[in-house]
Structure 1
Amino acid sequence: MVIKSILVDDEPKSRKNLRLLLQEYCPGVEVIGEATSPAEAIKLIRQLQPDLLFLDIEMGAESGFDLLRSLNGAQTFEVIFVTAFDKYGIQAVKACAIDYLLKPINILELTSAVDKALQHIGPKKENLRLKELISNLDRGEDEQRIAIAMAEKIEFVTINNIIRLQAEGNYTHIYLNNGKKYMVSKTLKDYDDLLVPFGFLRTHQSHLVNFKKIASYVKTEGGFIIMSDGSQVPVSRMKKDEILKKIMI
């Protein structure tokens, strides 16, 4: 299976480097076009109907996000974002389970990202993760959603509706306001990186909680937190002072 791809980046050296890496390490990916701006990319996408887009986030006064917003209709291609700025927009990308690469590109990360994209490439259908990303960019913080990837489907959950997360080996249990519970094959560390900017606190090696959903802090028996759903979450000795300081603000 040949994967038709387009490179979108305003830096010629970056496009050349990525093209050479793809030729060497991802022979199943064929570069069918290159664009230096969102306007050029839109024309190529409509003309060539790619399977995969390697999209730079920052391109002068515009961004890769601007490109996605400008495309009308359902998007049927996969996207791998490429950026030199690990803080810019990456939270939004990660929240929707879309892959990204940091410049300079690491070969192992490139092949891994391409392998993940290949899992979603097939008969042309709307890319719901991409649709969710575009929607997230225009939502307020309390309306932001994340992708919960399970074996047979991906569900999008409003971050503000998550009460807490609990680790179980390489899996994580996610508890919601409505009583729903998901078990996903990601570590708690993955969600820690993603959710702490949204006000989540790591109270223990195995627990991550939504600060907005804390009902009370019990000082006895070493200290623990009671969440809005009545669940009790332990607080480790190392985290106790940090949690108390946060609660008392």
Structure 2
Amino acid sequence: MAAEGKVDPMHQFTIQPLFGSDGWNIAGYNVAFTNSALWMALATVVLIVFVAGGLKRQVVPGRWQMAVETFTGFVAGMLAANVGPNGKKYVPYIFSLFMFILFANFLGLMPLGVLGVHPFTFTSHFTVTGVLALLSFAIVLVVGFAKHKLHFFSLFVPHGTPVAMIVPIFFVELVSFLVRPFSLGLRLFVAMMAGHVLLEVLSSFVISSGNANIGLFAVAGIPSFVLMIGICALELLVAGIQAYVFALLTCVYLNDAENLH
């Protein structure tokens, strides 16, 4: 948000009610339709359209169908490598999770500001990434207890642990296991938030130096603008990597639930 030549780097993360929904309440709870909800809906629509375009099943696939099949094969390979043959049944979930985060990250980086539309990166909010992490964690728990019953607790006692160390090792492993959803959601949230804040800070240098004088703009403004271009390219890479890391770690956790390794 620019005002008097200044940029507030945190304004872009503000959740705002849309379409006059700020007064919507159900059972005393505000249920306003926010900019975050709007961009989540857009990411969902893009994902649905993307998958629908790959369902043609042509003998000679077009580019769209090939793109969907490539991503599906990529996810299937990731599950096969980390979970084994039992991982095939998780392809729909991991594919949806990976593509949803990927589209969310990319939509938040689109230069729509020139059209008067301000993208909102909802993966830069821990409430969103935390819920996605808890969903994956819940699936791991359900699978683990459904398949192994109480034997699932053996996951917290590594094979070969001395008898005297079983109790302390059990609690250490249990705490480590319970921290997983927090670290999973935090990693994505921090990565996306940090990049957007850095871009806003650099843009403030460009605006402030441009409003000051031509000399300061040449010394600080132009280098900052060039650096912004490089960071934008880096952010595109980070957007893809973070979606991959989130899906990969979910696969690793599912491997624990399936195979108790």
- TM > 0.5 between the two? no
Considering fraction of residues, name the structure with more helix.
2
Greater strand proportion: 1
Question: Relative contact order: is structure 1 or structure 2 higher (C-alpha 8 Å, sep ≥ 6)?
Answer: 2
TM-score where L is the length of structure 1: 0.22
Structure with bigger gyration radius:
2
